[in-house]
A and B are shown apart, each in its own frame.
Chain A
């Protein structure tokens, strides 16, 4: 049944860059977004530094061209910046955009605006500019608003599976293409920092006040981040119609559930193993052919142990190079899967592997060690990108040079 699924464009905004070029430079130079919060109003500004995009909403509105942007939440604005770059990088015409699908992921939608105006919004006797954010406690709202702005009508879906959300948006977009229901699917996720998220993760005691250290024995938790990334998936038929050369192929994917605990992963990494194995099997690629894994690597005690064990059990003969890019961007939750997929695509394009910054101490439970220095001129053909989340969700994407 399956049609092949190609990638013809992408767009990204994170705390280390407002577009692809800036993100690439930061990856090469080891520039991180970690620092004190200055845009989000929270009591944790200094004690829980995060990876914040240093642009106010008004500046984001200028970048996206939405005028006064009434009702646009930060999640929508960040998403729109990445979406607009993705569309232009793929060179899609208005007509092609119109018939495309938009599959977007978020964990909180517009909760940042909802929490800011909470008491005003719930007091129906009050009127004011805050009323533009009345429906922002709805995760699907951002996707429809972005679709309306760029003119997408073909297919609309919002996915929320915690920190694996945008990987699942990419997987579903690929499913729609391989079953001939869409020619072009633009998939990814957007996430704005909010008090809700920072306090939620902090109440679970998995946020590190220091810069995060994935796969390091002294790791103490994650840093939160914000950002958005979208990837343009395209069918082979559409490629030839548009005479486009693809950037890469989405060759396989896996989605599984750890079924271990509501907010924790199994120590042996059952879900991670299933997701990666499915990705390999669906692509018909052997573990020996994987050149690099962009790990979920949140730097929580639980994730890195679970994921590390999952990697070790799947790659018994030869463990590929692997690293987590979370120290650059922080954990961007629903957007992490698509942001890291973009980093993998940049790796494929430039034949580079991004280092796992801040790694110093080997975990005694693992025999594998992440890549510590930027690697250039590496022969990269097959890359796995992992995204896991609360609720036991585990997903893995297999990207291959076209």
Chain B
């Protein structure tokens, strides 16, 4: 297969609101917050600094979070109006959907107000951001469970391939909705007993902890003064059958992007803390990147469809700040002081696997 060789994608701005204090880009995990009820919710900034009084009054919690993350990102990139907006979510604005459904059922389909219906639409955030900054360019929203964020990133890479000069706003959002928690309990997605979030990797039980967050990235084919790192490539693998299939795909992915296993300084891994669903990833750790230090992140953000976006923020921060926080170190390796290349692997309930390759921005490229 011919791919987009030599084409670049730079992350030139980030805005992220998550269960950790991440909204201030001048800090990098200044404190680690732990949760003990298996449900992680966002640490939010003072919305007044980012939203208009009308928005503060009208927007749902998740729309406020998403709009604020987008605004922080644009400010970080120094961009007023992006050329396109692509968002991703697994379950969308489920709290709003639930409110509309409840009203509908309780009032027997009579005298309903449209607000919850309108704010429950999956593309409501992409539309709101476009409207707020008057962006009439490309606009799309992916809702593909554990692939939503990856699809959105892939979409952006293709757009940048055709037009490297543009700035694209890539965003994710998912919320720790009570409805999804209950539905997830029926599907054995979450842990049966409460576990401290920081203990999920040693706990060795089935199920994940529920997470949420919204992360926005300004992507461009051109680097800028605010560049965090470059995205070299992405690949999705749907329902891999064995560690060997995954290993082969990883090897050809690295080859395609001209990177050796030994060039990778850090593996950022989406280990979820679910004993049975993490099995494939655990087996993989024994056959590839055996000598590469690893970082885990889902004890910080929980599990949600677009959790890859939290991982991408973590990896970008490590590359930009050249610092690996203690809390994400997950193996006995010696961690490097210089981090040039990061390989990310994530999975969502052992169905949706994705690989992302990131590089530090170099002042001069040979």
Identify the A interface with B (CB < 8 A). 1-2, 42-44, 106-107, 109, 111, 114-115, 118-119, 121-122, 124, 131, 134-135, 137-141, 143-144, 147-148, 153, 155-162, 168, 172, 175-176, 179-181, 195-196, 199-200, 202-204, 255-263, 270-271, 274, 389-393
Beyond known contacts A118-B102, A161-B141: 6 more, CB 8 A cutoff: A43-B109, A107-B121, A131-B186, A137-B91, A140-B90, A157-B151
- A124/B123 contact (C-beta < 8 A), A159-B143, A179-B158 known: no
The answer to whether B109 touches A262 (Cβ under 8 A) is: no
Residues in A whose Cβ lies below 8 Å from that of B141: 159-161, 391
- Nearest Cβ distance between residue B154 and chain A, in whole angstroms? 8
Q: A140's contact among B94, B140, B145, B162, by CB below 8 Å, is which?
A: B145
Q: With an 8 A cutoff between CB atoms, is B239 at the interface?
A: yes
Q: With an 8 A cutoff between CB atoms, is B155 at the interface?
A: yes
Residues in B whose Cβ lies below 8 Å from that of A153: 238-239
Q: Chain A interface mostly helix, strand, loop or mixed?
A: mixed
The answer to whether A255 touches B179 (Cβ under 8 A) is: no
Minimum-distance CB pairs A-B, first 3:
A391-B127, A140-B145, A200-B117
Chain B 271-308: CB-based contact to A (< 8 A → 1; otherwise 0): 00000000000000000000000000000000001000
User: What is the bound-complex CA distance between A141 and B136, given in angstroms?
Assistant: 30
Q: With an 8 A cutoff between CB atoms, is B148 at the interface?
A: yes
- A147/B238 contact (C-beta < 8 A), A195-B104, A204-B117, A257-B135 known: yes
Residues in B whose Cβ lies below 8 Å from that of A147: 238
Q: With an 8 A cutoff between CB atoms, is B126 at the interface?
A: yes
Q: A392's contact among B97, B109, B139, B148, by CB below 8 Å, is which?
A: B139
User: What is the bound-complex CA distance between A188 and B165, given in angstroms?
Assistant: 30
In the complex, the chain B residue whose C-beta lies closest to that of A106 is B143
The answer to whether B101 touches A115 (Cβ under 8 A) is: yes
Q: With an 8 A cutoff between CB atoms, is B43 at the interface?
A: no
- A262/B108 contact (C-beta < 8 A), A153-B238, A153-B239, A391-B124 known: no
Quick one: which of B117-165 are within 8 Å of A by CB? 117-118, 121-124, 126-128, 130-131, 134-145, 147-148, 151, 154-155, 158-159, 161-162
The answer to whether A156 touches B238 (Cβ under 8 A) is: yes
The answer to whether A43 touches B137 (Cβ under 8 A) is: no
User: What is the bound-complex CA distance between A205 and B138, given in angstroms?
Assistant: 29
The answer to whether A115 touches B105 (Cβ under 8 A) is: yes
The answer to whether B139 touches A161 (Cβ under 8 A) is: yes
User: What is the bound-complex CA distance between A262 and B186, given in angstroms?
Assistant: 35
Q: With an 8 A cutoff between CB atoms, is B183 at the interface?
A: yes
